[in-house]
Each structure stands twice: as structure tokens, then as C-alpha cells.
A and B are shown apart, each in its own frame.
Chain A
Amino acid sequence: MSLKYALFTGCVAKGAGRELMTATELVCRKLGIELVEMTDAACCGAGVISEDNEMVADIINARTFALAEERGLDIMNICITCQGVHRKCQVKLSSNPDYMSRVNAALKEQTGREYKGTVKIRHFGKILLEDYGLDKLRQAVTKPLSNINAGAFYGCYALRPHEYSDLENPDDPDEMERIIEALGAKPVKYPERLKCCGFPILMMNKRNSMALSGNAIKSAKDAGSDCVITQCPLCHLNMDAYQPEIDPDLNMPIVHIQQLIGLALGMSHDDLKMNTHIVRPTGAVASI
């Protein structure tokens, strides 16, 4: 059965995190997963548009869901913030028919579209686990990452509030670790792996934002991790781009999970644009 999804890129993968887009496309192509980029889908709002006007944020996201339904495809997110915001909107609409009909009325009035409630919305990692399968992934690995100790950083929107999370046990998940293990790397569970990276308050309180990222990176380092693996490009931005200001001695590579998979599939740092990261690959990560 061929796998085909409507790719919701999110803004960062088209902006400050273009390496995520590259890695996703390369890895999916190699694994035989077909992606149709939703070039007409709007920003999910990142929980910020809803601070200003919740219903507008929900109409915009209902439009995205409708666009995927029109294509007859399920949505693949590659940003956990987009995933969490989409899921929250979807749960809100499906659990409240009255609100859904008001959102749909507005959507229809402005765009002629309608969200029917049939589309499945998942993050890349979840799709890999559920649809592609870890056994197949293991078979596809050509360069097992046996020297790498990899600490997964989940990102808030993957975990909380629980009713919007699609992880089996959001208080003690192992989905990312299972992927890391399938690549031949050693997963490192460290105390701060489920905490917030601080990105959402970067513009409001930079000191606190960087303290949160710094704590997470230090925690991973203390637990013996060679790199921090992210599934949200916003966590990646905060931990990578601000790392020199947090503590230049940390020198901890921050790697998108698609990049880690790409390395195990035999792709190079250059292919995966890992040299665009602010913290260049070091130690065990550099040696792959």
C-alpha cells in the first residue's frame, strides 16, 4: 500500500528552519512516502492568533482541514506546535457540533469550503510509527547510528493537555525513543525531556525563555546525550540558534528527528543541511 499525505509545512520549515523541509522531503522520498505540499494552507496560528481571536484561528484551521479533505488525503505535520494546535482545534470542533456549525458557516461564507470532520491529522513521527512501521524503518537503515546517544525532546504540544495528545502515555512517552532505537542509536531519557523549551515567550521574557532551553540542554548533556533530537522546529530554534547566548560551552548539537533518520539512511550532513545549524555537529554526531 502506498503512503501518501497532505504535507502541512508550517511557517518555520519554509522560513528559519528550511533544513527541516529538506530533511523531510529527502527521508520521505527514500522511504517511499509520497507528500503533496499544501501550498494553499495558512499558518496554524501557533496558539497566538487564538490569543487575539479564537474563532478566527479555528476558522483558518478548519479551512486547512477542508483543503486536505478535498484532496482526499490525511495531514502530515512536521512541526509539533502545528500538530498540537490542529488537534486542539479538531477536538474542539468534533466535541461541539454547535460551534463546528458556526465555524463552518463562516468558512463557507468566506471561501465556499466546508470541513466535514473526516481528515486524520498526525505528526511525521506518529505516521512513521503507525503507517510505515518500525520494522520497515529498521530494514531501511543502511548506516546504524550505534555510536550515538540521542536524547529526545518531545515539545509541549506533543504532550499537553493530554486530550490533544496522540501519544500512548504523554506523562512518560517512548515514541521518539522507539524511533531512535530503530535507527541503531541509544535513546537517552533525561529529566527535562518533557519540559517546555521556552520559545513562546522569547519575545516577552528572553531570560526565562533561554533558562528553560538551557536547563533542557544541560539535562540532556548531564545524562550523557550526544545530541538533542527535536520534533518541533521552534524547540530547535530556541535550543540551537540561542545556544551561544545561553551558554557557549554547551556545544550540544540539536537535530531534527528527520535529520537523524536521514543519517541512518545513509545521507550526509550536507544533504540534510546540518551545517546550517548554529551549533555545528560535534563529537559522535560529526563522525557519522
Chain B
Amino acid sequence: MKTFVLAAALFAAGTLAASAQQLAPSPTLDAIKARGHLECGVHLGLPGFSFANDKGEWTGLDVDYCKALAAAVLGDATKVKFTPTSVQQRWPILQSGQVDLLSRNSTITFSRNATLGLNFQGINFYEGQTFIVRKKANVKSAEDLDGASVCVAAGSTEEKNAADWFRERNLKVTITNFQKNDDAITAYDSGRCDAYTAGVGALAGQRAKLKVPDDHTILTKPISNDPQGPVTRYGDERWQLIVRWVLNGTIAAEMLGVTSKNVDEMKANSKNTEVRRLLGAEGGFGAMMGLPDDWMYKAIKQVGNYGESYERTVGLASPLKLERGQNQLWTKGGLLFTPPFQ
């Protein structure tokens, strides 16, 4: 009898340990389920990435990611509440637990990752400094700017970056300084320089302010590297896993040709195992993270894959008309990549 009880206890402890290994506790996920919505920290207002439209709804590329996450976790892309954050408050608001994650065009850097107690969960936008030029100037890349003049704000990071970059390559480029960014872009618009420089995302917003936006083009190959993506706190590995793989899932969906329109058909008929795993038709991948198996199906169905999101918010279907550039899939010449769903 005694041995039987002992064996039973050992067995119970063993299974408990096994299941605990499979599914670590996730206080963040439990809290989200208990309150019934996701808390997402976004940018106060950045054209194309995060802003409130005329109806007061939050939209943009960073916002779309939060919606996809809400769909994956709670089954409903509308069950997310947004906290707009300023530059100064973005880290503390995440560290103090007022939001579940930040999706707020924050550049991933070593020192931030090492010192802030925060982890970056992948890249949803490859930001980088580039140039806006007139279409008729026939400039294809920054190397073609030899002999040109560039308007910049004096003392900005962009000024230093651009000057260094041209000097290293022995290109004769005149850098014209202005007091403020606004002055520099106005000067560019009035024809005093051949180019103006800033990050890709910022340039997309600024192009829309020019007198004739369609006369200008943004060079797709940047001269600096500022990748951006969702951010979580240290700890709660299962939550970090979910945040990372929902982002990967939206990229994988584009890779595999799964869109919000064909997702039902793909789930029912696709012979591709990776598609079937992604959409929860086989493999039980959702359950491994403590989510329903149709987690990515819901996210794709309700929000769309990465490409759909991109086109709608900053891409050619939006007023910003930004080309994919580096944010194209790696198979099509960009940098966008996801580990396989295996």
C-alpha cells in the first residue's frame, strides 16, 4: 500500500513536472485573459505607423501588429486597448507593467537590450537613414549623389551620419545646414538642395507635406541600420515566445502566400505542412504556447499577413506610398525573414 501511494505520488509529481516543462506559467497571459483585452503601448502619432484616424480608431503598421496579437491571444483583433506613449515615458510605462508590450517604432540596440530590462522580439520594420530626391534627377542610390547638395538640420545625427558616409566613399557632396528639420525640408522643397535626409519612415510622412509629393522619390537602400520591433519586459518567457512568434507568423503567412482572403481555403485544402501547422490544421503549435491552435488563423483572418498590413498602412495603398525596400521578404530582395514553423 505504502509503495503504491509513493509510486502514485512520484508519478503525479513526474507528470506535473513534465507539463510544467511544456507550459511555463505566464502571468502576463493570465492577466490579459482575466481582463479580456491586450494593453499595447504605441506611438503618440507617427504617420503610417501609429495614429488615430478621423473616427478616433488607432491604425498603422505598429498598431496592426497589436491587433494581430490580440486576435492570436484572445481570438478577437478588437480586444486591444492602446496607450499612446511619448519618447520619455515609453520604457518606464512598460517596465512598471502598465502595458503588456510596446509596439512603438523603437530601435533595437545592444545597450537598450542589456541595460533596460527589456527584450526586443524581432523586427517589424527595418528603419534606416536614407534620402529623398526629385524623380527627374534620376538618382537610384546614395552613391549617385556625388556632386549633389543635401539639406540637413545642423548638429543632428543625420548630419553626422551622412557626412561620414560620403567621406568614407570619397563622394563630393555639399552638406547645407539649417537650424531645424522643418527649415531643411522647406529648403529642399524650394529647390535649394538636391536631397534631404532622414529615416525611411519619417521621410514617408514628410514627403506627403511637400508641394507635389509625386515628384519625389525615397531611396530604398539606407545608409544606416535602425531595426525596430515589439518590446517586452524581462521574465515571463512564454509571453515573450507568443509576442515573437505572432510577429514571425505574420511574416511566414506572407512567405507562404496565406492572406486574409484565402486563409479559409488554405486551412482546408493546403497540402503544405508548414501552412497547415501555421493555421492550426496539424501539429498543435498553438497549444505548445498555451494558445488555441487557430491562433495564427485568427490573426491572419482578422488583420492579414505582414505584406497586407504594410501595403494598407505605409505601402502603396496608403497615402505614404512607401515601397517595400528592405522590408520586402528575403526571397524578393529584402531583409524580412522568419525561422520556420517546424
**Co-complex (A, B):** no
| Residues of A bordering B, CB below 8 Å | none
| Residues of B bordering A, CB below 8 Å | none
